[in-house]
Amino acid sequence: MSIEILLIQFANLYRGKTKLQMSTRSGQFIKLDELINEIGKDAIRFFYLMRKNDQHLDFDIELAKKKTSDNPVFYIKYAHARICSVLEQILDRKINISNSNIDFEILSLDEEIELIDKLRSFPNVLEAACKKYEPHIITNYQRELAQLFHSYYNKCNIIKSNEELRNARVYLLRCIQIVLSNSSNIIGISLPEKM
Domains of the chain: 11-65 (no CATH), 72-187 (1.10.730.10)
| CA dist., res. 49 & res. 41, Å (int) | 12
Predicted confidence (pLDDT) at residue 26 exceeds the cutoff of 90:
no
* Residue 169 φ/ψ, nearest 5 degrees: -70, -40
Predicted confidence (pLDDT) at residue 192 exceeds the cutoff of 80:
yes
Average pLDDT over residues 179-190: 98
* Residue 187 φ/ψ, nearest 5 degrees: -95, 0
Average pLDDT over residues 154-175: 91
Q: What is the pLDDT of residues 34-91, one digit of tens each?
A: 889 999 999 999 999 998 888 888 889 999 999 999 999 999 999 999 999 999 999 8
Q: What is the DSSP letter of 84?
A: H
Q: What is the pLDDT of residues 85-141, one digit of tens each?
A: 999 999 888 887 776 678 889 999 999 999 999 999 999 999 999 999 999 999 999
By the 8 A CB rule, do 33 and 27 touch? no
- Looking at residue 19, its pLDDT comes to 86
| CA dist., res. 76 & res. 148, Å (int) | 11
**Helices of type H across the chain:** 32-39, 41-49, 61-65, 72-92, 110-120, 122-132, 136-155, 163-187
- Place 143 in a pLDDT band, splitting at 50, 70 and 90: very high
| Best-predicted range by mean pLDDT (91-100, 101-110, 161-170, 178-187) | 178-187
Identify residue 102 by its one-letter amino acid code: I
| CA dist., res. 195 & res. 174, Å (int) | 18
